[in-house]
A and B are shown apart, each in its own frame.
Chain A
């Protein structure tokens, strides 16, 4: 749970939201507080000025009772805590709290402190310095106090009553205090609101992100994981529904494409192996059967010659001879299939071969009302093939396609297209021949790597000797080591047959600096490898420099009945036929063998009711 992508994403988004919203809320709250307090200060200042100017005239007239009364009434308002006026020496002269009158206020009391803190009292005080926020007791709510110095004016000095001496600057201080309980309540309320908003926003955001991540990421990823498990379990036909257009949809599509290609490759490999062993089997069986068959045929035909005067025996013998000859034909077709002959290759134009095959099958297709559409690419290069065998391939494919369309269908179309493809050769090119400087073959059919004969070389190292079987697929490194060679100069690499050295004296491995060895692929240059077991360096200049490998691709598409999905893997098997008595079942197997002999590949795509497409790829360089 904690390691899940969705959870991590949700937490990450939650944390980011928490930090952002907290910072925002903090500053927002602080500025709110400040504004609120400033508003209260302004209000207090106004109030203090009002009190001052409201009592000024009474003071000039020295109407003390009136002043007492005014201050007392004003101070009784609930929004005002206390109003008092102190004289210069700190004695409270007027106060809304009558008990206080006549008391002396300590210089260090918070209403005096501002001016008297510096020893010599200040005479002028800035507005911001005149207010103060304090608590009367540590438990009580906050209080805002504002002091308003009463300065000596001309009218004061000349007043008849009790004239203040001219030298006096400050006559006294008006001190107004207001309770901040309501303001503090507002501030607390605001804070709680912000916290509630922040928490709910973060929760909502996390939930929404979590939902979207689950829907858009976790679910498709789960599907992909399930699919990889299926594929790992060997089910290469498993398909993920391709319903999405985003990156995961692309991934699903490319995943499906990959499994499709994998299943084709597996089929191809499987087929190759099976047909090769079947070929050997057929050849062996043919040889074994032909000997006893010779006995039957020779003796029966010999008897037939000698019993010309016995018509009743003749009839029976003729049956034996005829049926034995039929057996002979069956075995012969098996041998033709198994024939591991080297194709008689030469440069040929695939388009021309197709034209010829079309000419040969013209009548047969016309009889079935099948139209052959040729979309032959203009820029198709020549390929090195056995033109006759390839023609056989196309004739068989056309005839098969016409059969698949069938005479009942009242017509159909076969479309042949040719095109030119380029694919990278590294990792897909097999080293099929390898020889030492004395032309001994290094190919070893007993040790196979991925089903293909390996390249065997002898290694003498540190007094031991043994063989290394190199991966025949150039670019891959599934070598098998019968000996662990030391990466020293003393390691010898040689031909297992004649012990001719394969080491290259003048060069060393560009990756690790160890000694390198080389062998020849007849007609295709030298392959080099590193003697260091850990090093994967290898070079086949001819292939490396050839760039991408070129292929000619031929697609034969028909509008026939199609082949059921479960039958597709079997159609290249010998004797597999859907034509019943009509066909021998060797056609597609023979085609497969021919294409394999040309280092090419053949795959089939089909849909029941819609038709079948055979795709053949032949390398331009043999």
Chain B
């Protein structure tokens, strides 16, 4: 029987792994360290983890390859990617490759904790969904998946194409389930530019943590959902229809759609 641990942090920089051990350890989480992908694989053979935090640039294999290896070996542990090459492109690429989140370096203790807490929530929800499908109950008891014709960036945000050339952007139910109840949401203004892979809204949960929402498309905000701005709870009630955040005039839609996952493939 494998030992059950909370977090495996994979990074060839000792200062990073030690920082994660300190910050997460102080919150009572059990953290293991691997300085390379090979060491991580060895650890995974002995222990099970609820969450993996992995660097992109490592000495032996890069983070994307490690992620692909995990997928091949059917390791379902959610992965948070982190890198010093903290660009929007890397964020989008990591999320498309299957990471659940992306933490650009350098990060503060709070930024790390927020991502880790969401990751652990995500792991729990995933287990619940797995348990549900094992007992033939619908997954939607755990969370509502995004509608078939939508596209998603990672598991967090979605985009829905409207016939008029604009798109609607919102937050997925799964993301909302990984955070505590919404206390407040800070939205951008009409006319602002949003960029794929960078934060476009901040959700403050009742536990006082701020969660950035990565925008799934680039473009200009043409309309902000006033219902959400005044009553953030609308998002939790109906995340995919009533609870949209922005209507956006996308600038590079065809190109950017290739970096997004289609929600219809989630249902197969």
B69 interface contact, C-beta 8 A? no
B85 and A283 form a contact (CB under 8 A): yes
Chain B positions 43-91 with a Cβ under 8 Å from a chain A Cβ: 57, 83-87, 89
Assuming the contacts A287-B57, A344-B256, asked whether A295 and B108 have C-beta atoms less than 8 A apart, the reply is no
Contact of A346 among B57, B107, B112, B255 (CB under 8 A): B255
B131 interface contact, C-beta 8 A? no
A328 and B251 form a contact (CB under 8 A): no
A56–chain B nearest beta-carbon distance, Å: 132
Residues of chain A contacted by B238 (CB below 8 angstroms) = none
Chain A positions 302-352 with a Cβ under 8 Å from a chain B Cβ: 302, 304-306, 321, 324-325, 327-328, 332, 335-336, 339, 341, 344, 346
B137–chain A nearest beta-carbon distance, Å: 40
Q: Which residue of A lies closest to B19 (CB)?
A: A298
Q: Which residue of B lies closest to A297 (CB)?
A: B106
Q: How many residues of A are counted as interface, with CB atoms below 8 angstroms from the partner's CB atoms?
A: 35
Q: What separation, in Å, do the CA atoms of A288 and B87 have in the docked complex?
A: 15
B19 and A335 form a contact (CB under 8 A): no
Q: Which residue of B lies closest to A335 (CB)?
A: B87
Q: Interface code A192-236, partner B: CB below 8 Å = 1, 0 otherwise?
A: 000000000000000000000000000000000000000000000
Q: What separation, in Å, do the CA atoms of A346 and B257 have in the docked complex?
A: 14
Q: What separation, in Å, do the CA atoms of A387 and B109 have in the docked complex?
A: 38
Assuming the contacts A301-B108, A332-B86, A335-B85, asked whether A291 and B15 have C-beta atoms less than 8 A apart, the reply is yes
A108 interface contact, C-beta 8 A? no
A293 interface contact, C-beta 8 A? yes
B32–chain A nearest beta-carbon distance, Å: 18
B84 and A289 form a contact (CB under 8 A): yes
B252 and A344 form a contact (CB under 8 A): yes
A286 interface contact, C-beta 8 A? yes
Q: What separation, in Å, do the CA atoms of A197 and B76 have in the docked complex?
A: 114
A75–chain B nearest beta-carbon distance, Å: 128
A288 and B84 form a contact (CB under 8 A): yes
Contact of A293 among B22, B106, B112, B218 (CB under 8 A): B106
Q: What separation, in Å, do the CA atoms of A290 and B108 have in the docked complex?
A: 12
B86 and A339 form a contact (CB under 8 A): no
Spell out A's residues near B (CB within 8 Å). Answer: 283, 286-299, 301-302, 304-306, 321, 324-325, 327-328, 332, 335-336, 339, 341, 344, 346, 386-388
Chain B positions 97-149 with a Cβ under 8 Å from a chain A Cβ: 105-110, 112
A319–chain B nearest beta-carbon distance, Å: 14
Residues of chain A contacted by B233 (CB below 8 angstroms) = none
Across chains A and B, which 8 residue pairs bring their CB atoms closest together, nearest first? Answer: A290-B84, A295-B15, A301-B108, A298-B19, A287-B84, A294-B106, A302-B109, A293-B106
A296 and B106 form a contact (CB under 8 A): yes
A339 and B105 form a contact (CB under 8 A): no
Contact of B251 among A294, A301, A336, A388 (CB under 8 A): A388
A302 and B26 form a contact (CB under 8 A): yes
Q: What separation, in Å, do the CA atoms of A52 and B251 have in the docked complex?
A: 128
Residues of chain B contacted by A287 (CB below 8 angstroms) = 57, 83-85
B206–chain A nearest beta-carbon distance, Å: 19
Q: What separation, in Å, do the CA atoms of A187 and B15 have in the docked complex?
A: 118
B23 interface contact, C-beta 8 A? yes
List 14 other contacts, CB 8 Å, given A291-B105, A341-B89.
Answer: A287-B85, A291-B15, A295-B19, A297-B108, A298-B106, A298-B109, A299-B109, A301-B109, A302-B23, A302-B109, A335-B86, A341-B87, A388-B218, A388-B252
Contact of B107 among A283, A288, A297 (CB under 8 A): A297
